[in-house]
Chain A
Amino acid sequence: MRWLALILPDLALQTHLRGIAEPGAIAITDPGPPVRVLAVSHAARLAGIQPGHSVPAALAMLPGLQLRPRDRMAEQALLQEVACWASAYTPRLSLDPPDGIVLDIAATLKLFGGADAIEQTLHEGLRHQGLRIATAQAPTPLAARWLARCPTPHRPHVPADWQARLDALPLDLLADGSDVSPASLALLADIGLRTMGEVRTLPRAGLARRQASAVIQTQARAYGETPDLRTEFVPPPSYRSHLPLSWPTIQIDPLLFASRRLIAGLCSWLTARHAGIDHCRLTLIHERGGEQAIDILTGTPSRNEAQLNLLVREHLGRIELSQAIDSLAIEAREPRPLVQPVGDLFGDPAGGREHASMLVDRLRARLGLEGVRQLRSRNDHRPERASQAIPFDPRPSRSPPIATQRPRGDRPLWLLPQARPIADPARLRLLRGPERIETGWWDGQDIRRDYYLAETPDAARWWIFQELDPPQAWFVHGYFA
């Protein structure tokens, strides 16, 4: 067993400051009572404000201090998001509330190049997402968590003397991530204990008698004496992430930057679910309320970050931003099983440098769904109904096979959407015909026509017809291009 604990220090603060380069003096308050400062930004810390101060005291020290109430829902959501992202590195991980995740990395050590590499990847990946983390590894999840709480520089990744290190940890950590009550902690502190090791030397029966059995159990789990069972994290069935921008903007570049971050999160959720999506929705939330939704469609299920980013760029390049955008959200439902493309051992003979469906996705993103269509033929004798252009559909068609083997060349390659009256039929020379088409009486769209192949003085060949009903007018319906 090898556990890696990942802790988001000052989670309440990070939730508020994520992605903000220079936040200024901000304090997060815990809606008590009494209302107290829970976490402070760097600028506020420099002014002398510490977690635990009362709000009046903090404001007295720094009148310009911005106070933000703690948002537990957002903290939960952030922790879930990080867990989703981290599940790309191991399938076995669990949330460790209030502010951590523990990952069992024993099975994936080799795949990701060792413990150091995984730890580094986690740090770097989350730094790109604007998050600061602390990590540590140990044979039990609780020990990993406690060690991550007290980072020591240049420690070996799993210290051989990890139990001795636990012994040296301060007593307060006992309550961190466990169910040790503050009363038990106070009891231990009152009898003069300062470290974990000192607690371990106490007689257990005595502790149990003083309602402190939770202390014994917690320590047993941390030191690996009793098993520590965790509930595995299951990625949620749908994904939603919300990212406030540093400041409202109508520029495309900051939006692209922010959307890349959202898509990175989306893709890690998909990786965790071993799935792809063919539809997601990016919502631009305006400064003054109101929002604008962009539907991003891919032809085949995909979790290719570069492809999704490209599609977002095409969409954003197309829309008009009337108001400043304040925040972005991305939403995806219905992850689909991903079909891995089958590679060719000798390279793609066609020289296609990207997946063929990506081209269509990009065209559709820029031109809209009506801009890219496909042809379908239908078994109908009425020429205008036998051919249809429908919006692109990635599934292969079930075009009906041609019912009868018609002689080729009797249907034109161009069909006019509306038959055009011929002003001077006498100029045309009839080459072939008539072919009578008299059908459609059942749905009120009946036609009664005699079709001919005719040649114009320019030697162009038209497909023309004469109405059988009076006034027996002549029309051109297609060109033999």
Chain B
Amino acid sequence: MSTATALATLPPGLVWQARQLAQQQGPVLPTGHAALDAELPGGGWPGAGIIELLHDHPGIGELSLLLPVLCQGASRRWQAWICPPWQPYAPALQAAGIDLDAVLLITPDNPAAALWACRQTLASGNCSAVLAWLPRIDNTGLRRLQLASEDGATPLFLFRSRNSARQPSPAPLRLALSGANGQLRIDIVKRRGPLSHRPVLLPYASLMHGSSCAG
């Protein structure tokens, strides 16, 4: 019997093969984009842990990518936006179907307080999702956030610059975002599974119109 057939006879989940995507522990939140779901372990955003979104230029659809998951969070009370670089525009969020009452804009005045707020919101288990912009976070801070996120079973969408892709990170999922010809290009930097060489391309039109849950 060849190795491949021997492995195929084993019960699923017992032996993980490097060319398969890992089984996601715990719940998974569908991203709302089939092309992206196909590339992520478990078929969606992990329900707990850090998801790093690395990009340099604003306006490439980095938030629109999250709109489907932000619309789903009705079962828990809050959605925390920690240190957003600008103010989110309320009419646009409302039009996308986000409940404005659930959105908490948290703007601490120093990085230590921002990290603290991030951990509190994650560990409380009261947030459907936490979005954070922490430009100068170090590895210790990341590890703490990862633990808090697992502890509270809350996903943390952490926006960082593309430079940080070169730093190691405890985040189980790291995506580099860029814009290309009217499309959002997603390069998967790290995932639990085989290396990805093929970027996921999502047209802006589908980000803006096709994915939102309001209609």
Contacts and interface: CB of A to CB of B under 8 A. Distances in A.
A376 to B, nearest CB: 6
Given A375-B93, A396-B101, A413-B64, A359 B120 contact: yes
Interface stretch (B4-12, B30-38, B72-80): B72-80
Interface stretch (A103-111, A208-216, A348-356): A348-356
B134 interface: no
B77 A363 contact: no
Contacts of B95: 402, 406, 408, 411
Given A386-B90, A460-B57, A460-B60, A360 B76 contact: no
Interface string A349-372: 111111010111011001100111
Interface string A462-481: 10000000000000001111
Contacts of B90: 375-377, 386-388, 399
Contacts of B182: 455, 459
B178 A459 contact: yes
A456 interface: yes
A354 B59 contact: no
Chain B contact surface mostly: mixed
A424 interface: no
B76 A459 contact: no
Nearest to B67: A413
Contact of A392 (B100, B104, B125): B104
B171 interface: no
B172 to A, nearest CB: 20
Contact of B58 (A352, A376, A411, A481): A481
B59 A479 contact: yes
B116 interface: yes
Interface string B106-150: 111100010011001100111100000000000000000000000
Nearest to A408: B95
A462 B59 contact: yes
Nearest to A416: B86
Interface string A371-401: 1111111000001001111001000110100
Chain A contact surface mostly: mixed
Nearest to B75: A350
A460 B86 contact: no
Interface stretch (B13-21, B192-200, B207-215): B207-215
Contact of B109 (A350, A360, A371, A456): A371
Contacts of B91: 377, 386-387, 402, 406, 411
A413 B88 contact: yes
Nearest to A478: B89
B64 A415 contact: no
Contact of B87 (A352, A370, A387, A462): A387
A399 B99 CA distance: 10
A363 to B, nearest CB: 6
Interface centre among A349, A388, A402, A415, by most chain B C-beta atoms within 10 angstroms, is A415
Contact of B76 (A352, A478, A480): A352
Contacts of B49: none
B85 A414 contact: yes
B179 interface: yes
B124 A459 contact: no
A229 B22 CA distance: 77
A141 B57 CA distance: 79
A458 interface: yes
A417 interface: yes
Contacts of A370: 107
Interface in B166-209: 178-183, 204, 208-209
Given A366-B113, A481-B64, A351 B153 contact: yes
A409 interface: yes
Interface string A330-361: 00000000000000000001111110101110
A413 B93 contact: yes
A439 to B, nearest CB: 15
Given A389-B105, A411-B91, 8 more contacts: A350-B77, A359-B126, A408-B209, A409-B208, A413-B64, A413-B92, A414-B59, A479-B58
Nearest 6 CB-CB pairs, A to B?
A459-B179, A356-B77, A479-B59, A409-B208, A460-B59, A377-B90
23 contacts: A351-B153, A353-B125, A359-B124, A359-B126, A360-B104, A366-B113, A366-B117, A367-B117, A371-B106, A371-B108, A374-B103, A375-B88, A377-B91, A383-B89, A389-B105, A392-B104, A413-B63, A415-B89, A458-B56, A458-B60, A460-B57, A461-B61, A481-B58
Interface of B: 56-64, 75-78, 84-96, 100-101, 103-109, 113, 116-117, 120-121, 124-127, 152-153, 178-183, 204, 208-209, 212, 214-215
